[in-house]
Every structure is written in structure tokens, then in C-alpha cells.
């Protein structure tokens, strides 16, 4: 049975820098035998978490009372072996719909609230999560808040965090101008990153990757 990857595509632009690296990742995943689906979050209705606690009253189901597209997305996440978050950097973090979805998932998936630690239950325990990032500033520190946030998020959720690959938007603009998709070697870097993640998935171990290209 083929393994599955779900890509949570969090850019408002379907033809920009984040999409370019997402397409490369999807193609390479499928070349390696994975089935993959990219979900455009800006095209989905994703309400913010209300902190109502209703989802914590169920053990094995999502349990959210909100009627939007999040349950559909969450079920695809549950079916996947690998979760890839693809996002540009906005204000030192991910985009708004990506953050809203992460907030919803962390409560729907983790049945912790009001329970003793020995009774905590994670619906997505041991899945692998990694990030593809595009950014447009000259300093790498812009990536640190999101990286640290996801390390804590994954530790709390009992997920394997396999790190991130960040590629500067400048490279995309220069490739677009030249018409050469291979320029700067970013496609090869994405493929190497995916290879790393797949190896991590197969060994059920974390071998965190942190790479930044182009400034």
C-alpha cells in the first residue's frame, strides 16, 4: 500500500515562489512512490479556534462544532503518513489560514484538556511533519520564530518534526526572468530535502534538517 503525503499549501498565490517549491516536492514524492495531495488553504473556509473545548469531550473523533472545511482537511491529515506545510513567511511566522488551521488541529487531534498527563491521547501521534518555506528578507533570523514554534507544536502533539527548507524568493524571480527552472539548484535542494524526510519516515526517527538557500 502506497504511503500518503498531504501538503498544506498556505500561500495566497498559486503561481509564486511557494508554489514552485511545492510542485517540485509533490513531483518528487510521487516519483518515490508516495501518493500526495496539495490543499490550497486560501481556497478553504477555515475559521479560527474558539477555545470552546467541545472537541475535548470526544476520545477518538475530531469533535469540533464548527461547520467549515477543517474537518475535511483534518481527516486527510489523519490518513497521511507525512504532513508538509508549505508557507511564505508573513510577520516572522506562517500565513493566517495556516496558523488558523494549526490552532484547530492542535486541539482537535490532542485530547489533553482537563486530563492528567497519563490520560493524554493524540490522534496523530508519530506522524512526520516538515516545512517548505519561501521568504523575502536578507536575514535568516526571520525563520527562527516559526521553526521554534513548530518544534514545540510537534513535541506537544507527539509528532516527528523533520525540520524545514527555506528558499529565498529572489531565486524564484530570477528563474522566472530567465526561464531556467534549474537555475541556482533549488529544485535539487527540494528533492534532497524530500529524500531526507522519507528516510526519516521509514526509520521512524527524527533527523532534523535546517537549510536556507539564497539571500
pLDDT single digits (tens) 103-114? 999 999 999 888
Residue 36: strand pairing partners: 5
Q: What proportion of the chain, given as a percentage, has pLDDT over 70?
A: 93
Distance CA 20, CA 17 (A): 5
Lowest pLDDT segment from 30-34, 94-98, 210-214: 210-214
Q: How confident is the model at residue 215 (pLDDT cuts 50, 70, 90)?
A: very low
Q: How confident is the model at residue 214 (pLDDT cuts 50, 70, 90)?
A: very low
Residue 32 structural domain: 4-213
Mean pLDDT of the chain: 90
Question: Contact at 8 Å (CB) between 56 and 114?
Answer: yes
Lowest pLDDT segment from 12-16, 43-47, 74-78, 209-213: 209-213
Number of domains in the chain: 1
Q: Can you give 89-133 as a three-state secondary structure string?
A: CECCECCHHHHHHHHHHHHHHEECCCCCHHHCEECCCCCEEEEEE
3-state class (DSSP) for residue 7: strand
Rounded to two decimals, the pTM is 0.91
Amino acid 183: pLDDT: 67
| Domain of residue 129, CATH code | 3.40.50.360
DSSP-derived secondary structure letter, 49: P
Amino acid at each position: 500500500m502506497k504511503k500518503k503525503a498531504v501538503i498544506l499549501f498556505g500561500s495566497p498565490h498559486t503561481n509564486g515562489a511557494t508554489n514552485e517549491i511545492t510542485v517540485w516536492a509533490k513531483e518528487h514524492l510521487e516519483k518515490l512512490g508516495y501518493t500526495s495531495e496539495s490543499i490550497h488553504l486560501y481556497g478553504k473556509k477555515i475559521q479560527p479556534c474558539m477555545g470552546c473545548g467541545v472537541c475535548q469531550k470526544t476520545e477518538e473523533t475530531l469533535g469540533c462544532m464548527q461547520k467549515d472545511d477543517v474537518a475535511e482537511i483534518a481527516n486527510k491529515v489523519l490518513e497521511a503518513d507525512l504532513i508538509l506545510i508549505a508557507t511564505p513567511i508573513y510577520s516572522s511566522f506562517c500565513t493566517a489560514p495556516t496558523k488558523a488551521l494549526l490552532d484547530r488541529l492542535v486541539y482537535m487531534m490532542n485530547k489533553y484538556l482537563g486530563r492528567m498527563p497519563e490520560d493524554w491521547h493524540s490522534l496523530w501521534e508519530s506522524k512526520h511533519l516538515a516545512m517548505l518555506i519561501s521568504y523575502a528578507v536578507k536575514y535568516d533570523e526571520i525563520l527562527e520564530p516559526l521553526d521554534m514554534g513548530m518544534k514545540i507544536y510537534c513535541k506537544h502533539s507527539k509528532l516527528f518534526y523533520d525540520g524545514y527548507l527555506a528558499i529565498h524568493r529572489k531565486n524564484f524571480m530570477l528563474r522566472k526572468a530567465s526561464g531556467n527552472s534549474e537555475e541556482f539548484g533549488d529544485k535539487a535542494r527540494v528533492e534532497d530535502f524530500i529524500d531526507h524526510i522519507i528516510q526519516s519516515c521509514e526509520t521512524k526517527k527524527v533527523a532534523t534538517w535546517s537549510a536556507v538557500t539564497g539571500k
